[in-house]
Amino acid sequence: MTTSHEWDPSADPEHIPVLLGEVVAALSPKDGGTYVDGTFGAGGYTVALLEAAHCTVWAIDRDPAAQGRSEALSRKYPQRLHFVPGRFGDMADLLAERGVTQVDGVALDIGVSSMQIEDRARGFSFLRDGPLDMRMEQNGRSAADIVNSWSEKELADTIFNYGEERHARRVARAIVAARVERPFSRTLHLADVIRAEVRRSNDGIDPATRTFQALRIVVNDELGELERGLRAAERMLRPGGVLAVVSFHSLEDRIVKTFLKSRSDVASRPSRHTPASLGAVPVTATFTAISRRPVTPSDRELTGNPRARSARLRVAERTSAPPLASVAGGRA
């Protein structure tokens, strides 16, 4: 596992950037421009942006292992690549601390990297035995803490809502029964308990997939982070700046779609917080959606990288209206 030392590419499984050409084309970097790569990972998007124009990239990642991977690249692109440890939901504060308040583009590639999934010590995979961890930041509450302490109802609701698992109640009941015998500490222990309860579906998807997804989402508060990241991008993008978000499952895509719809379709909407005497609050759209439908990977990309199969890219351009959260009565 890489930590704060420099990245050794031969020690890490390769992460193939998803929808790379489409994301770079959407941001269309220009010389002198400033861009945020909110999910640095292995730096695929960052490098492509730096190569496309003489621009500056602020690369954020909450995983301490990503910093090591950024070091050689920072030397290759001196003064142009700045790695920022932290969460993209905090990008406005993280960049303001470094003197940056407006940017020309923000890219978010939501989810986990191949390095994280493949490293059994991180506990993301139900195929390899490892500690039941799943913490991108490598601190805080782990997946084991959750399955060993949450009530059956809390587990069932989480697995249903974030894993979209039809058999969530049965899985939760089995988890609670199994942990009495032996608390969970390993990924395969949990995967085996789930597999004993839920049969493999016709599409061949491992029954542990959905429960592991649910746990990963809550361990890292991924949906809350996405919402904060979208609002932060709204604050940071200058007029004409572009937001490009790649997501990997319907829960994430729905958040992006709903956010962009709410931000591009808001003219003069009365706020329910506004006294009737004041009438409608003049609220102006903060984004223009570039297309209604999300961009999906080509057959060619899917052949080379099956992991891209559920990826969806949504792109929107920032208008000159103030961020909605700062408008009186605007929804944060």
Ligand X SMILES: C[S@@+](CC[C@H](N)C(=O)[O-])C[C@H]1O[C@@H](n2cnc3c(N)ncnc32)[C@H](O)[C@@H]1O
Interface with ligand X by CB under 6 A: which residues?
15, 17, 38-39, 41-45, 60-63, 66, 87-89, 109, 111-113, 136, 225
What is the rounded CA–CA span in Å between residue 310 and residue 180?
Answer: 37
Minimum Å distance from CB 232 to ligand X?
A: 10
What is the rounded CA–CA span in Å between residue 235 and residue 254?
Answer: 21
Minimum Å distance from CB 208 to ligand X?
A: 20
Please say which residue, 15 or 210, places its beta carbon nearer to ligand X: 15
What is the rounded CA–CA span in Å between residue 246 and residue 114?
Answer: 15
- The string over 121-146, giving b where at least 16 C-beta atoms fall within 10 Å of a residue's C-beta and e elsewhere, is ebbbbbebebebbbbbeeeeebbbeb
Minimum Å distance from CB 290 to ligand X?
A: 19
The number of residues making up the chain comes to 332
Phi and psi angles of residue 120, each rounded to the nearest 5 degrees, phi first: -60, -25
Minimum Å distance from CB 259 to ligand X?
A: 15
Please say which residue, 63 or 133, places its beta carbon nearer to ligand X: 63
Please say which residue, 136 or 191, places its beta carbon nearer to ligand X: 136
Q: Look-up: residue for tokens 């199969």?
A: 309
Asked if residue 285 lies in contact with residue 321, where contact means CB atoms within 8 angstroms, the answer is yes
The encoded tokens of residue 26 equal: 């959407």
Minimum Å distance from CB 61 to ligand X?
A: 4
Asked if residue 46 lies in contact with residue 109, where contact means CB atoms within 8 angstroms, the answer is no
Angle of helix 44-52 relative to helix 64-76, nearest 10 degrees?
20
Q: Which residues pair with 35 in a beta bridge?
A: 57, 105
Minimum Å distance from CB 220 to ligand X?
A: 7
Please say which residue, 69 or 257, places its beta carbon nearer to ligand X: 69
Please say which residue, 167 or 231, places its beta carbon nearer to ligand X: 231
- The string over 26-51, giving b where at least 16 C-beta atoms fall within 10 Å of a residue's C-beta and e elsewhere, is bbebeeebbbbbbbbbbbbbbbbbbe
Task: Give the dihedral sign, CA 56/60/66/68.
Answer: positive
Please say which residue, 44 or 207, places its beta carbon nearer to ligand X: 44
Please say which residue, 43 or 330, places its beta carbon nearer to ligand X: 43
What is the rounded CA–CA span in Å between residue 313 and residue 212?
Answer: 23
For 270, 280, 325, the CA distances from 266, given in Å and listed in that order, are 9, 11, 13
Minimum Å distance from CB 103 to ligand X?
A: 16
Minimum Å distance from CB 299 to ligand X?
A: 21
Please say which residue, 17 or 330, places its beta carbon nearer to ligand X: 17
Minimum Å distance from CB 105 to ligand X?
A: 14
Please say which residue, 45 or 184, places its beta carbon nearer to ligand X: 45
